[in-house]
Amino acid sequence: TGNTTVDIGFVNTASCNSAITYIDGDAGILRYRGYPIEQLAEKSSFLEVSYLLIYGELPTTEQLEDFDQKIRRHTLLHEDLKAFFGGFPRDAHPMPVLSSAVSALGTFYQDSLDPFDKEQVEISTVRLMAKLPTIAAYAYKKSVGQPFLYPDNSLSLPENFLRMTFGFPAEPYDLDPDMVKALDLLLILHADHEQNCSTSTVRLVGSAQANLFNSVSAGIHALSGPLHGGANSAVLEMLGGIYDNGGDVDTFVKKVKNKEDGVKLMGFGHRVYKNYDPRAAIIKKSADTILNKDGVSDPLLDIALKLEQVALEDDYFVERKLYPNVDFYTGLIYKAMGFPTKMFTVLFALGRLPGWIAQWREMIEDPQTKIGRPRQIYVGETERDYTPISSR
């Protein structure tokens, strides 16, 4: 293939021009549309950040109100789509349930799937933003065998999601403002991260002019992997494993350094950040309210803190510039909020949705866009003759 060079894992290859998210991995900088993540985390809301990512500017009061109302109006799932959840086994992992339901959404809205019709893209955007929290809550309810709750459109997006997840139809649900705030912050921190694996998947699928629902559904599958969004569950499993083995952090770190059985320090390292992940820094700082709620501290938090300290001082991690990433502390917070480990990556997906949508729309609108079609270096057999099965 002429002068094609191979770039395994796309370490050096840019796949697009994008005006959405800026990362300086060496300096630990992350900005959405130019706004530092620290400012957005402190001052904004997930809804406002979603608007910013998708439409490019911070909304005026009226624009935000309009966006909010539109989303609130579309939170219900079609009753036939609701019936889907009954078809999965009780112990189904909620990630494939989530992506299946997102694929299925497209079958209910066949009149609005044209990627090049602005109005259709707009209504699909609103439907996805409004319905993913409902789908995620139903995936949870299914896994614990509890009844589904209809959304309550007097509530905000994170409030509605918490109520549909933890509430019961028979009794009122008391929203905890600390939980709502913590969830909103976590969603903001996950909202976009330029050309990560799931976002690149959404773009690649979309580059074939597949519709928004199918592209996002593919992104959810990419996110499910333990090296990507699945890392938040994997961190908790790792911390639990260390705890069960008597809390011996040093032995675990030794195992990681010796690459025994391919063991990694989950929640550490990043393709782009060669410094503390700014999202991890924000989470760690604001985790106290949730992690020390009612004065009960999780023993796994002590293990995490110790692990981080050991890793940050150890040559293996220092030389490779391995720092805690966004997933290192999120699992502990989700656990303290009452989510089972299986749901952690679903929460990541809820947060990442506006980023996927913004990136898909940017790609569709970009006149330079072509179908994504990487080349390869062929390393197989040269030409050879077919041998009949009797002589092999």
- At 69, which helix (H) or strand (E)? helix 61-73
Question: Binding ligand CMC by CB under 6 A: which of 208, 227, 305, 318?
Answer: 227
Comparing CB distances to ligand CMC, the nearer of 53 and 149 is 53
**190 in active site:** no
Binding flag, residue 355, ligand CMC (CB under 6 A) = no
Least separation, in Å, of the C-beta of 48 and ligand CMC? 23
Q: Residue number with the shortest CB distance to ligand CMC?
A: 269
Stretch that binds ligand CMC, among 148-156, 206-214, 267-275, 358-366 (CB under 6 A): 267-275
Tell me the two tokens of residue 293.
């709620």
Sign of CA dihedral 312, 316, 321, 322: negative
| Number of residues this chain uses to bind ligand CMC (CB under 6 A) | 20
CA neighbours closer than 13 Å in the CB half-sphere of residue 3: 0
Distances (CA, A) of 312 to 20, 29, 168, 269, 341: 31, 19, 44, 11, 26
Comparing CB distances to ligand CMC, the nearer of 79 and 319 is 319
Least separation, in Å, of the C-beta of 333 and ligand CMC? 15
Least separation, in Å, of the C-beta of 53 and ligand CMC? 17
Question: Binding ligand CMC by CB under 6 A: which of 44, 233, 325, 359?
Answer: 325
Site string for ligand CMC, 235-264 (x = CB under 6 A): ---------------------x-------x
Complete edge-to-edge strand list for the sheet that includes strand 21-24: 21-24, 29-32, 35-36
**327 in active site:** yes
Positions 166 through 225 that interact with ligand CMC (CB under 6 A): 196
Task: Tell me if 243 sits within 8 A of 303, measured CB to CB.
Answer: yes
Catalytic residue among 270, 294, 298, 302, which?
Answer: 270
Site string for ligand CMC, 280-319 (x = CB under 6 A): ----------------------------------------
Question: Binding ligand CMC by CB under 6 A: which of 326, 333, 349, 357?
Answer: 326
How far apart, in whole angstroms, are the C-alpha atoms of residue 318 and residue 271?
A: 15
Comparing CB distances to ligand CMC, the nearer of 164 and 191 is 191
Measure CA of the first residue to CA of the last residue in the chain; give whole Å.
32
How far apart, in whole angstroms, are the C-alpha atoms of residue 257 and residue 155?
A: 48
Least separation, in Å, of the C-beta of 226 and ligand CMC? 7
Question: Binding ligand CMC by CB under 6 A: which of 73, 118, 285, 320?
Answer: 320
- At 204, which helix (H) or strand (E)? helix 197-207
Least separation, in Å, of the C-beta of 299 and ligand CMC? 21
How far apart, in whole angstroms, are the C-alpha atoms of residue 52 and residue 36?
A: 13
| Closest alpha carbon to 356 in 245, 236, 210, 251 | 210
- At 38, which helix (H) or strand (E)? helix 37-43
Binding flag, residue 268, ligand CMC (CB under 6 A) = yes
> What is the residue whose two structure tokens read 């700014």?
278
- At 348, which helix (H) or strand (E)? helix 344-365
How far apart, in whole angstroms, are the C-alpha atoms of residue 192 and residue 170?
A: 37
* Residues known to be catalytic: 270, 327
Residues that bind ligand CMC (CB under 6 A): 9, 196, 227-229, 231, 256, 264-271, 320, 322, 325-327
